[in-house]
Structure 1
Amino acid sequence: MLLAALLAANLPAHGASGPWQQTDTVEGRLIAAVEGTGEGAGTLDRVPLGLHLKMKPGWKTYWRSPGDAGLPPQVSWDGSGNLAGTDFRWPAPHRFTLFGIETFGYDGEVVFPITARPAQAGQPLDLKASVDLLVCSDICVPQHLDLTLQVPAGPAASSGADANLIARFASYVPGDGTASGLGIESVRTSGKGLEVAATAREPFVDPDVFVENAAGAVFGAPSVAFADGNRRITVTLPSSGQPVPLDGLPMTLTLVDGARSLETVATVNAGGGVSQGLGGVPGLIAILGFALIGGLLLNLMPCVLPVLSLKLLSVVGHGGSAPRDIRAGFLASAAGILFSFMVLAGAAIALKLTGSAVGWGIQFQQPLFLVFMVVLVTGFAANLWGLFEIPLPRAIADAALGGHHGGGHHGGGQHSTSLGGHFATGALATLLATPCSAPFLGTAVGFALARGPLEILAVFAALGLGLALPYLLVAAFPALAARLPRPGRWMLVLRRILGGTLALTGVWLLTVLAVQVSPAAALAVGALMATLVLVLAIRKRLPGRARVAGGALAAVLALAAFGLPMALDRHASQAAAAIDGRWTPFDKAAIREQVAAGRTVFVDVTADWCITCQANKKLVLTRGTVAERLFGSGIVPMRADWTRPDDRISSYLAEHGRYGIPFNIVYGPGAPDGVALPELLTEAAVLAALDRAR
C-alpha cells in the first residue's frame, strides 16, 4: 500500500502534459487533450495539443498581428520525434492602448490550440518546442522557453482538465460567425478611415475589430455606434498614419465581442463603396462580378493559350454548318467548362471540410494529376493528327442534334458532329486554366475559399461562366461561325499544326513533373507517350483484330504512365527546384527580423506549374531596373516555391486572404505588414511598392 501511494504521488496530475518552464515574467508548458495517440480503429492522425502560457501580473504577449509594436510568438519543433507537422491556431486577442499605440495580444493566461500530425499514426509523439516570445509591461523582454511533451502510444482517452482547457481556448479561435451569431455586412472607406458594419444574433456588449494585411495602413482605436437594440453596429477605425490606397485590397477582419468572435476576408472599394462581407448580399454580388470578369480574362492568360488550338479548330470546323449545329457545338463546349468548374468547386468544398489545404491550381502539385494531363493532351494531339477517332454512335448523335444532319456540315468528318468532343474541349480549357491567375480572379477565389460551400459554388459558377462567355457569344450569334470557309482538305494541315501545339503543352507538363518527382520519371513518362503515339500510328494501318490489339496496347501504355511517379519518386528535399542563388529561401520568421534591421523584403510565391508566375519572372522580375533594385543592397529577395505541397506556404497565403498564385508582397520599415502586388506585375507597380516599403 505504501509503494502504491508513492507511485501515485509521482504520477502527473493530467494525462499527457509537459513540465512547466518558468522565467521572471512568464511560464509555459505543452499539454495534450488525449492520453495516447490511439490504437486500432481509434488511431489518431491528428493529435490535439496546446501551448499553455501564464504571464505574471502586468505582463502581456502578442497576437499573430501585434499591432503598432511587438512580435508574435514563434515556435520551432526541431528535434521532435514522429512529428510530420503542426497547425497553430490563434485565440481572439485583446486590444491594449498605451500613449496612442495600439497593440493586440494576451495577458494573464492563454492556450494556443495546436494540431500535431504524427509521421506514423498510433506511435508515440516525442515533442520538443523551442518557443521565442516577447513579453511586455513598462519594458519589453524577449523570452525563450524549451518545452517538451511525450504523448505515448495507447488509447486516445480524454486527458480531463487539460482537454477542457484546450477546448475552452479553442472556442475563442474566430470562426465564420455561424456559431457565434456574428456577421459583417459591409466594409468601406470614409473620410475618417475604415467603417465596418456588423450584426449579431444577441446584442453586442464590448465589440472590437482588428484589421490585418492592409498594405501598411495604420488604424487607431475604434469608435462604435450601436443601433437596432445593440444588434447592429458601425465600427469606425480612424487612419492614424500616412494614407494608403485600399481599393481592391483583400484584408482579414477579426470581429470580437467578449467570448465570441468572427474572422473573415474582405475587399474594400475605396471611396465609400460597399465591399464583400460575410453574408452581405451587395458584397457577394460585387465578388460574383469580379469572378465573371476574372473568368473572362482567363481566356487571355498564357495557361489557356495551349488549348487555343482546340478552340480554333472547333470554330473552323463549324464553317458552312447549319446555325442549329453551330449553336449545339458551342453550347456543349460551354457546358464542359461549367461542369468542370462545378467539379473543382466540389473538390474545394470537400478539401475544406476535411481541413486540408485548398487553393487555386493546387492539383498541379500532385504528380498523378500531371501524368493524367500529359496522357490527356497526348490523346488530344493524336486525335488531331488523325491517329484515332472516337465517334458518337449515330443514334446518340441524332438525338443530340435533334435528328438534324444537313448535307454540308459533315465535311469536317465525325469530329464536327461530336458533342462529346466539344464538351471535352471545354473541360480541357478549364483544367489548363487552373495554374493561371488573372486580375480579379485572386480576389474572387480568396473570398470563396474563406467562406462556406454556397459561396464557393456561386463564385466558381461565375468563374466558369466568364471563361465560357466567348462560346456563349458564338452560340447566341451562330452566323459568326457560319460565315467561315467550309471545312476541306486544308483542315488536315491545320489539325497537324494544332496537334503539335498540344504536344508542346505535354512537354511543359513533363518539365513540371521532373521538378516534383525526378527527371528520370518525366523522361520515362515522355517515352511512354511517344511509344503510345507510335503504336496508334501503326495501329491505323493494321486490319481487324490486330487493330483492336493495338488499341489495347496503347491503353496499357497510358495506364503504365501512372505508376512511374511512385516507382521513381525521390525525397521531397531532393525534388525541390533549385533556387536561383540570388534568391533567399522563404522563411516567414526572418521577414520581421530583416525589416527590424531596416531592410526591404520582396516575397515571391511561385511554382513551376504557374505560367503567370513564369511570365512575371521573365518580363519583370529578372530584367531592367526591377532586377537591379531587387538584387542590389538593402533588399532581400525571398522566394517561396509552391511547386510541391508546402503547409508553410499554404498557411502564409491564407493569412493574406490568397488561395492561388502568383502572389508577391513587399515588406519594409515603411510597410511592416506588407504591400501586396497585383497578379500581373508591371515594372512601375514593383518599383512603387519597393519605394513605399523602404
Structure 2
Amino acid sequence: MKKHASAILLLLTLLAGSESALAQDGAGSWVKAGPVEARLVSAVRGTGDLNALPLGLELRLEPGWKTYWRSPGDAGFAPRLDWGRSVNLKEATLAYPAPHRFSVLGFETAGYDTAVVLPIQGVPETAGKAVDLALTAELLVCSEICVPQTLDLGLALPAAPADPSDSANDIARAQSLVPKGPNGLLQVDAVRGQGSTLEVEATAADGFVTPDLFVESDPPLAFSAPKTVFSDGDRHVRMSMAVTDPQPGLDLAGRALTLTLVDGDKAVEVPATVAATWSAAAPGGNLLAMLGVALLGGLILNLMPCVLPVLSLKLMSVVKHGGQAPAAVRTGFLASAAGILTSFLLMASALVAVKAAGGAVGWGIQFQQPLFLVFMIVLVTLFSANLWGLFEVPLPRLLADRLGGDGLAGPFATGAFATLLATPCSAPFLGTAVGFALAKGPAEIFAIFAALGIGLALPYLAVAAWPRLAGWLPRPGRWMAKLKLVLGFALLLTALWLLSVLAIQIGEVAAGTVGALMAALVLALWTGRSLRGAGRRVGPALAGITAGVLAAAAFAMPAAVGPSAGALPVAGETKARWEPFAESAIRDHVAAGRTVFVDVTAEWCITCQANKKLVLNRGDVAKRLEDASVVAMRADWTRPDAAIAKYLADHGRYGIPFNIVYGPGAPGGIALPELLSEGAVLEALAKAAGRSS
C-alpha cells in the first residue's frame, strides 16, 4: 500500500512540475471550440521588472475557416476580448498583423485563415509581481457558415526573471507584421476622391507584386476590392475602389481615412485626408507616358503570332502597289492605316458602352461571342474566295465596296480586318496600356486605343510617308495569280482555327455544320464562276444569292444550338497535371507549402497557344509542372467567366495571356510577362518555392 502511495505521490509531483514548466515556458493550454483553437502566449517566462509584457493570442483554424480583422468589411466582427478576471493586469492592447482579403459572392471581408498570432501589450498594475491572465475571447469564424465561438483562456506569469520563452520568436514575428507608419519600403503618395470613388497612388522601393488596400473610415464604409494599374516597372501603382453601397450624395472629398497598404509580408498604415478634387498633374503625366507605351505596344503587335494570318492581306496590299505612282501608293496605305485606326476607335466605343452598362471588359473579349466568331469565319472565307478569283463583284457591298478593286474601300477594309484578327493577342506593353485605359474613364480609353491603332498602323504610315519603299517591290505580273492561290489557302487555315474556337463555344457538331456551310459557300461561288453559255449571265447572281443564304444559315447556328451545348473541354484541362482554376484554393495550397502556377488562357488567344507549345508543354518547364509540389491551374476564358474577369481586374489586367506563380516564398504571387520564356518561368517557380533559381 505504501508502495502505491509513493508512486501516486511521485506522479503528482511530476505533473505539478510539468504544469510549472509549462507556465514558465510562457504558453497557456490550448482550448478548442469548433473549428478554432486558441491559447495565450508570452515572450517572457516571468514578469521581471517589466512595465509592459509582450503577449500574444495564438489562433489555429481548420482548413477552409477564417476569422476577422479589426475592420471586417462587408460582414463579420472583430475579436471581442474580456480581461476582467485577470489578476494584476491594468490593461491589454491588441494589435493586428496585416490581414488577407476574402472575396466571396461579391462580398469583401478582411481577416486571417489557417494560423495567426495577434500581438498583445499587457501592462501590470504593479510591476515585478506575478500576473495571472484570464481572457474570455469571443470570435466569429466562418466557412460556408459563420459560427460565434467563445473561449476561456489563461496564463500565469510568475514574479521571476523575464527570460525569453519558446514563444518569443513567434510574437516578435507577429509584431513585425503589424502595419506601422512609413518604412521606406511602401509609401502612399496621393489620395483623391470624387463622389463615392477613391483613388490611391503608392510606391514600392522594390516593386509591387500583388498590392492590396484596406480602407477604414468613421462612420464605417464598405469598399470594393481595388483595381490596380502598374507603372514604372511595377514600382508605382494606382488603386481605384468604390463604396459598395453609397448613400445618395456621398462625397469622399475631405473625409479622414486610415489606409493599410499590403504587399506580401510588407505593409504600411497611414492616416490620410481625401483630396477635395482630382489632381490634374499626376494623371496627365501618367497619361502621356501611357500613350507612349500604347504606341510601342501597337507597333510590337505587328510581330505577334496572332497577326501572322493577316500578313497575307498585308503582302497582297504591298505587292499590288509595286510600280505604281507615289500618290497612288500614299493614298492606298493611308486608307489601310485609316481602317486600322477606325477599328480601334470602334472597339473603344464598344468597351466604353459595355463598361458603362456594368459588364466585364477586356482585350479580345469579342472572341468569346459565337456570333462574332461566325462573322469572322464568313469574312475570312470570302477573302479566301476573292483571292482565288471566285467572284469579282463584291459579296457583301457593305463590308468592302471592291475587295479586290483599285478604290480606297479595299485597303480600308484590309486595315479593319487586320485589326480584328490582331485582337486575340496581348503583346508586351499592350497589356499595360489597355489595363490603364480600362481602369479609367472614356477619355483615357479613346486616347489609349487611338495610340494603339497608330502603333499598329505605323508600317503603313511609313510607306505612305516614303512611297518609294513600295518601288523596291516587284511589279505586278502573272506570278501574282499563284501567290493569290497560296495566300487564299493561308487564310483558309485562319478560318479553320476560328472554327476550332467556335467548337469550344457551341460544340463540335454545330461548329462542323458552320464549316460545311462555308465549304458549300465556296462551292457555290466556284460553280457560278464556272458556268458556260446561258448560265454564265445568271450564274454569278445565283451564286451570290446562294452564298448569302448559306452565310445567314451560319449566323443562325449559334442561336439554334446555344452557347454551351456540346462544348469541347478546354485543351489541356483533361491532362492530370492541370487543375481547373479555383482562386479560393490558392491560399490553402501555399499554406501547405506547395507552389501554384496559374495560367489564364483561351482557345482564341494565339499568344496563349504559343506559350503552351513553346514553353509550358515542353522541356524543363513541363517537368517542373509535373512535380508533386507544384499545382498547375488553368483558367479558361474562351467563354465569358465573371470570376476570371474579376481575377484579372484584381491584378490590373484586362487581357490574356496572364500567368502568375504563388508559393511560400511569394504568397502574393509573381506575375510573368505576356510572352513566356523557359528561364522566366523556372526562375519564378524557384523564387515562389523559396529557393534560389
- TM-score with structure 2 setting the length: 0.65
| Counterparts in 2 of 1:492 and 1:209: CA distance versus 1, 3 Å | closer
Pick aligned residue for 1:334 from 333, 337, 355: 337
Shift of 1:691: 1.3
Shift of 1:249: 6.6
Cα deviation digits, residues 570-622 of structure 1 (max 9, x gap) = 64685442512210110000000000111110000001111000100011111
Pick aligned residue for 2:647 from 621, 628, 652: 652
8 A Cα contact 1:584 1:638, kept in partner: yes
2:549 matched to which residue of 1? 556
1:462 matched to which residue of 2? 451
Farther off after superposition, 659-668 or 482-491 = 482-491
Pick aligned residue for 1:514 from 495, 503, 510: 503
8 A Cα contact 1:603 1:637, kept in partner: yes
1:357 matched to which residue of 2? 360
1:588 matched to which residue of 2? 583
Question: 3-state DSSP class of the match of 1:280?
Answer: helix
Shift of 1:627: 1.1
Shift of 1:547: 2.6
| Counterparts in 2 of 1:383 and 1:663: CA distance versus 1, 3 Å | same
Shift of 1:200: 4.7
1:247 aligns with 2:233: yes
1:198 aligns with 2:190: yes
1:525 matched to which residue of 2? 514
| Counterparts in 2 of 1:87 and 1:467: CA distance versus 1, 3 Å | same
1:384 aligns with 2:410: no
Shift of 1:279: 5.6
1:143 matched to which residue of 2? 142
1:317 matched to which residue of 2? 320
1:471 matched to which residue of 2? 460
Pick aligned residue for 1:494 from 483, 492, 501: 483
| Counterparts in 2 of 1:370 and 1:221: CA distance versus 1, 3 Å | closer
| Counterparts in 2 of 1:219 and 1:614: CA distance versus 1, 3 Å | closer
| Counterparts in 2 of 1:455 and 1:573: CA distance versus 1, 3 Å | farther
Pick aligned residue for 1:565 from 558, 563, 567: 558
8 A Cα contact 1:365 1:644, kept in partner: yes
Cα deviation digits, residues 174-230 of structure 1 (max 9, x gap) = xxxxxxxxxxxxxxxx9933444326589xxx99878899655899999xxxxxxxx
Cα deviation digits, residues 99-134 of structure 1 (max 9, x gap) = 699xxxxxxxxxxxxxxxxxxxxxxxxxxxxxxxxx
1:4 matched to which residue of 2? none
1:117 matched to which residue of 2? none
| Counterparts in 2 of 1:532 and 1:250: CA distance versus 1, 3 Å | farther
| Counterparts in 2 of 1:562 and 1:385: CA distance versus 1, 3 Å | same
Letter in 2 for 1:553: T
8 A Cα contact 1:100 1:220, kept in partner: no
Cα deviation digits, residues 244-292 of structure 1 (max 9, x gap) = x97247856368984679999x9xxxxxxxxx99961221111111111
Cα deviation digits, residues 658-688 of structure 1 (max 9, x gap) = 0000000000111111000000000111111
Shift of 1:380: 0.6
Structure 1 CA distance for aligned equivalents of residues 657 and 510 of structure 2: 27
Shift of 1:648: 0.8
| Counterparts in 2 of 1:489 and 1:581: CA distance versus 1, 3 Å | same
Pick aligned residue for 2:605 from 583, 605, 610: 610
Letter in 2 for 1:53: G
Cα deviation digits, residues 436-495 of structure 1 (max 9, x gap) = 010001110111111100010011001000000000000000001023222111111111
8 A Cα contact 1:602 1:664, kept in partner: yes
Question: 3-state DSSP class of the match of 1:562?
Answer: helix
1:632 aligns with 2:647: no
Structure 2 CA distance for aligned equivalents of residues 470 and 209 of structure 1: 36
1:280 aligns with 2:283: yes
Structure 2 CA distance for aligned equivalents of residues 544 and 317 of structure 1: 29
| Counterparts in 2 of 1:382 and 1:277: CA distance versus 1, 3 Å | farther
1:17 matched to which residue of 2? none
Shift of 1:631: 1.1
Pick aligned residue for 2:538 from 533, 545, 549: 545
Letter in 2 for 1:606: T
| Counterparts in 2 of 1:467 and 1:90: CA distance versus 1, 3 Å | farther
Question: 3-state DSSP class of the match of 2:322?
Answer: coil
2:292 matched to which residue of 1? 289
Letter in 2 for 1:247: G
Following superposition of structure 1 onto structure 2, how do residues 15-414 of structure 1 map, counting pairs within 5 Å? 52-55=75-78, 57=80, 69-73=98-102, 75=104, 87-88=106-107, 142-144=141-143, 146=145, 192-198=184-190, 200=192, 216=209, 247-248=233-234, 251=237, 253=239, 258=255, 280-390=283-393
1:690 aligns with 2:685: yes
Question: 3-state DSSP class of the match of 2:305?
Answer: coil
Larger radius of gyration: 2
Structure 2 CA distance for aligned equivalents of residues 483 and 307 of structure 1: 22
8 A Cα contact 1:599 1:634, kept in partner: yes
Unaligned runs of 5+ in 1: 1-22, 26-49, 60-65, 76-85, 102-135, 149-189, 223-244, 267-275, 401-412
Letter in 1 for 2:557: L
| Counterparts in 2 of 1:658 and 1:207: CA distance versus 1, 3 Å | closer
Letter in 1 for 2:511: A
| Counterparts in 2 of 1:390 and 1:521: CA distance versus 1, 3 Å | same
8 A Cα contact 2:299 2:456, kept in partner: yes
- TM-score with structure 1 setting the length: 0.65
Shift of 1:544: 2.3
Cα deviation digits, residues 413-449 of structure 1 (max 9, x gap) = 9935121110111011101111001000111011111
Structure 2 CA distance for aligned equivalents of residues 555 and 217 of structure 1: 51
Structure 2 CA distance for aligned equivalents of residues 685 and 137 of structure 1: 50
8 A Cα contact 1:254 1:262, kept in partner: no
Aligned-residue CA RMSD (Å): 4.4
8 A Cα contact 2:661 2:669, kept in partner: yes
Structure 2 CA distance for aligned equivalents of residues 221 and 524 of structure 1: 52
| Counterparts in 2 of 1:92 and 1:298: CA distance versus 1, 3 Å | farther
Unaligned runs of 5+ in 2: 1-35, 39-72, 83-94, 122-134, 148-181, 216-230, 242-251, 264-278
Letter in 2 for 1:193: L
Pick aligned residue for 1:673 from 665, 668, 692: 668
Letter in 1 for 2:664: P
Q: Percent identity?
A: 55
Question: 3-state DSSP class of the match of 1:528?
Answer: helix
Structure 2 CA distance for aligned equivalents of residues 473 and 460 of structure 1: 20
